[in-house]
Structure 1
Amino acid sequence: MKNSIVPTPNAPFPTPPGDGWCDPSSDPSLLAARGQKGRGAISNIDGRFERHIHQAVDDGWLDQLMEDAPPRNKTTLGIDGARSVITKNQSPDVPFDRSINPYRGCEHGCIYCFARPTHAYLGLSPGLDFETRLFWKPDAPTLLRKQLSSRAYSPAPIVIGTSTDPYQPVDRDKKLTRDIIKVLADCQHPFSLITKSALVTRDIDLIAPMATLNRASVAVSVTSLDHRLSNLLEPRASAPHRRLEAIRKLSDAGIPVTVLAAPIIPGLNDMEIEKIAAACADAGATSISHIVLRLPLEIADLFEEWLTAHYPNRKDKVMSLIRQMRGGERYQSEFGNRMRGTGAVADLIARRFALARKKYGLTGRSLDLDCGGFKRPSADGQMSLF
C-alpha cells in the first residue's frame, strides 16, 4: 500500500528543535531537553533512519537558556493520501486481523505509545513530532466503502484505533471516526473501537444499535486512576474519572465495554491493578485485559528520558523490573512474549489480573461479533439488493 503525505495548505510545519537527548552525565557540555506542558515526550529524539544525530550543547549561554521557557511545539495537521484504509495483520497474539486508523500520530502524547516509531518512516521524530505533527485521512470513508464493495472481501470484525486513538482531540472537529462508523453501520459490518477518550460517547447513537445486534463493542484504555500519573503518562487524553464516566454511559446504552489496562508498568502503576478492575466493574465494564509495557525501538530511550524527568528516584527500580520481564533486555519482540513478558514479575501481574477478573465478575477480552448481517455496498455507495 502506497501512501503520500502532503501538508495542509496554510498550515506549515514548525521547524523541529533538533534537540535529540543524550545523558548529560556522560558529558557535562551536553544538555538534557526540558519537557513542555501538555506534551508526553521530553525531546524530539532523532528517528532511526536519520543520517545525523542532534545533541544540545552548552555554548556558554546556559544561564540564559535555563531562564527562558522552551519553545512550544504547536499541533499541525497534514493529509495522509492513503489509497486504502483497512490494514491487515497476521499477528497470532491479537484477536483480530484487520484494523482502521483514521489518524497518523496522536495528540494524546502517551509516552509509551508503541506507534511512535512509525513516524520515523515519514522522516519525523517519534518524540514530539509524533504528538504534534499529525496526519488525517479525509478520504477514509470513501475508501472504506470501496474496499467493502469488493467481491473478494469477506467480513470479519474491524478494530478502529489499534495504533493511534480515533477520538484524539482533532476528531472533535473532523468527526472522521464518526463518518467511518456510519459506513460500517450502513453495511451492518461488525466493528470494535479502542480509545482512552470520553469523546467516544458522542457516537453512542451509532454504536448502540449495532451493539444490540452484537455487531459493535468498545474497549476503553485505563492505565491509572492516579490523576497526576495519568496526566504525565497521557497528557492530552481524558482524565481517569472521565473514562469511568464514559464506560458507564456506554454500558447504560447497552454497549459491551472491555477495559484495556495497558500498559502495566511495574514499579509505577502495577499497584493499581485491583483498584482499576474494581472501579471499571462498578462503572459497567464486562471484561478486562492487560498488556505490560512495550519499549520497541526509539520508545526505550524516550521512556527512560521521561522517567529521568518525572520519576528520577524510581527510574532504576522501574527499569530493573522491566528487564526482569524481558530476559534482561529492555524489550523482546517475539510473538507470545511481547504483550505479556516472561519471568516472575510478568507471571505475578498475570495472576493478579486473573484473580481480579474472578473477584469482580469480569472476563477476558473477546471480539466474538456477528458477521452474518453484512450488506455489501456497491462501489458508488448504493447497497446491493442481493
Structure 2
Amino acid sequence: MSHTIVPIHAIKGRGTATHLAHRFTSLERDAFDDGWGTLQDAEPRAPLATEVTFKDARSAITRNDSPDIYFDYGLNPYRGCEHGCVYCYARPTHSYLNLSPGLDFETRIIAKRNLAEVLARELAAKSYVPQMIALGTVTDGYQPVERELRLTRGALEVLQRCRHPVGLVTKGSGVERDLDLLAPMAAQKLAAVYVTITTLDGALARTLEPRAAAPYRRLRTIRALAEAGVPVGVSVGPQIPFINDDMEQVLAAAYEAGARTAFYTVLRLPWEVRPLFREWLQLHYPQRAERVMARIQDMRGGKDYNADFATRMKGSGLWAELLRQRFHKTCAKLGLNRERVELDVAQFRPGLLSGQSSLF
C-alpha cells in the first residue's frame, strides 16, 4: 500500500502523518523526487482541519456476535474519530467509505444526524429485545465535534426516556457535560462509564492519542463521575510493549480517583493499522521500533496481528502472560473488580418514547 507523507509540522495534533491508501484502492499516487528539487521547494502545507459530513443513518443499533466482546448491542454516533489515536482498531472502517484509514479517519468525520430519531424507532419496535447498549466502542462519542453536534447527548436522552441501560466508553472529558442525564440513570442502575487511560505520561499521550483529553484531565473526569454516583471503571488498553509501561501507576491513580472496575487489551494491528503504527514508531521512537514490534509479534504467534477470537484481545505467549499477571495482581492489591456492575434491563419501557404510560 503506497501512501503520501505529510510534513511533521503539519500533523501537530494528529495521530498519523500519512494519507495511507486503503486496501480497496485501485489507483494510487505517490510523491517522488524528480531531481529538480520540487519536493524540497514545495510550499509547506497548512495543518489539516476537521471536515464533518452529515449522513442519515438507516439504523442506529449495531449487533455484535463476537464471542470475545462482552456486549451484543452497540451505538456509535460518528464514523471516524478526531481523537486521532494512532493505534485505533477502527481505522480500517474508513476504507469502506473510500477514505484513507490514515489522516482521513481523524479529519473526515461522518456524523449521523438523525441518530436519536432512528434509535427511538428501533427501541419502540415490537421485535426489540432489550439488552445493555455499549455507546462509543468503535469511535468515541465524546470526540471534539460532539461539543457542537450533541449527537451522543441526543441518544442518551432517548435511552433515559425509555429507561434503557447504557455503558459508555470514552477518552473525552465531555462526558461530564451529560452528568445531568447519567447521574439519575446511574441511580436507577441504568448507566455506567468506562474511561480509557492508556498512560499517565502527558508527552506520550499527545503523540499516541493527540486530541483526546490529557491523562490528568481523564482522572478528573473519573472523580467527577464517581462523586456524582455513576459507576466508573478504567480501561488501560491498549498495552504496547516498551511504550506505555506504567499500567500499575494508571490503575492506582484511577482507583484513587474513584474507579472501581478495570480491564485491559493489548495492541491490535488489523489491516491498515499495521503500516500506520510502524510509521508512527519510526517517526517518534526509531531507536526502539524493532524491539517494540518484536515483542508484539511474540504475543501474536510471530505475526504483527492474529485475529483469532481466543487471543486477539489479550495476546498469547510469555509477554501476554506477564501483562495478565501484572494487571490481575495490581487489581487485587488495589481492590479493583471486586464487585461487578450490573445494569437493569427490566426497567425498559418503550411506550415512554411516544409519551404513553405503561399499563403495568
* 1:83 counterpart SS class: coil
CA–CA distance in 2 between the matches of 1:376 and 1:114? Answer: 34
- Give the counterpart of 2:221 among 246, 249, 273: 246
Could you list the runs of 5+ residues in structure 1 that have no partner in the other structure? Answer: 1-17, 22-31
Partner residue in 2 for 1:20: 3
Partner residue in 1 for 2:328: 354
Q: Would you say 1:337 and 2:311 are equivalent positions? A: yes
The 3 A distance-change label for structure 1 pair 314 and 260 is same
Deviation for aligned residue 1:52: 2.2
- Give the counterpart of 1:382 among 349, 352, 355: 355
CA–CA distance in 2 between the matches of 1:43 and 1:366? Answer: 42
Query: For each residue in 1:12-55, what CA deviation from the matched residue of structure 2 results, as whole angstroms up to 9, or x when unmatched?
Result: xxxxxx9715xxxxxxxxxx543311110110100000102332
- Give the counterpart of 2:126 among 151, 173, 194: 151
Partner residue in 2 for 1:161: 136
CA–CA distance in 1 between the matches of 2:109 and 2:97? Answer: 11
* 1:268 counterpart SS class: coil
Amino acid at match of 2:163: Q
Single out whichever of 52-61 and 303-312 deviates more from structure 2.
52-61
The 3 A distance-change label for structure 1 pair 154 and 367 is farther
The 3 A distance-change label for structure 1 pair 374 and 122 is same
Contact 1:262–1:292 (8 Å) recurs in 2: yes
CA–CA distance in 2 between the matches of 1:99 and 1:376? Answer: 18
The equivalences for 1:96-111 within 5 A come to: 96-111=71-86
CA–CA distance in 2 between the matches of 1:228 and 1:66? Answer: 31
Partner residue in 1 for 2:277: 303
CA–CA distance in 2 between the matches of 1:33 and 1:146? Answer: 43
The equivalences for 1:207-246 within 5 A come to: 207-246=182-221
Q: Would you say 1:133 and 2:116 are equivalent positions? A: no
Q: Would you say 1:65 and 2:40 are equivalent positions? A: yes
Partner residue in 2 for 1:10: none
Q: Would you say 1:82 and 2:57 are equivalent positions? A: yes
Partner residue in 1 for 2:70: 95
Q: Would you say 1:264 and 2:264 are equivalent positions? A: no
CA–CA distance in 1 between the matches of 2:82 and 2:154? Answer: 20
CA–CA distance in 1 between the matches of 2:356 and 2:66? Answer: 32
The count of corresponding residues between Structure 1 and Structure 2 is 357
Contact 1:161–1:195 (8 Å) recurs in 2: yes
Q: Would you say 1:318 and 2:292 are equivalent positions? A: yes
CA–CA distance in 2 between the matches of 1:67 and 1:354? Answer: 52
CA–CA distance in 2 between the matches of 1:64 and 1:143? Answer: 48
The 3 A distance-change label for structure 1 pair 153 and 42 is same
Deviation for aligned residue 1:58: 1.0
* 2:279 counterpart SS class: helix
Deviation for aligned residue 1:262: 1.1
RMSD: 1.7
- Give the counterpart of 1:285 among 246, 259, 263: 259
CA–CA distance in 1 between the matches of 2:42 and 2:27? Answer: 29
The 3 A distance-change label for structure 1 pair 212 and 104 is same
TM-score (norm 1): 0.89
Contact 1:157–1:192 (8 Å) recurs in 2: yes
- The percentage of counterpart residues that share the same residue type is 45
Single out whichever of 349-358 and 51-60 deviates more from structure 2.
51-60
Amino acid at match of 1:241: Y
* 2:345 counterpart SS class: coil
CA–CA distance in 2 between the matches of 1:227 and 1:120? Answer: 31
Query: For each residue in 1:173-213, what CA deviation from the matched residue of structure 2 results, as whole angstroms up to 9, or x when unmatched?
Result: 01111111011000000001110011100001100111111
The equivalences for 1:107-118 within 5 A come to: 107-118=82-93
TM-score (norm 2): 0.95
Partner residue in 2 for 1:196: 171
Contact 1:34–1:43 (8 Å) recurs in 2: no
Single out whichever of 87-96 and 69-78 deviates more from structure 2.
69-78
Deviation for aligned residue 1:364: 7.4
Contact 2:2–2:28 (8 Å) recurs in 1: no
Deviation for aligned residue 1:56: 2.1
* 1:44 counterpart SS class: strand
CA–CA distance in 1 between the matches of 2:339 and 2:284? Answer: 32
Query: For each residue in 1:119-150, what CA deviation from the matched residue of structure 2 results, as whole angstroms up to 9, or x when unmatched?
Result: 00010000000000111111111111100101
Deviation for aligned residue 1:65: 2.5
CA–CA distance in 2 between the matches of 1:375 and 1:239? Answer: 38
Query: For each residue in 1:256-276, what CA deviation from the matched residue of structure 2 results, as whole angstroms up to 9, or x when unmatched?
Result: 11101111001111x201100
Contact 1:141–1:183 (8 Å) recurs in 2: yes
CA–CA distance in 2 between the matches of 1:172 and 1:240? Answer: 19
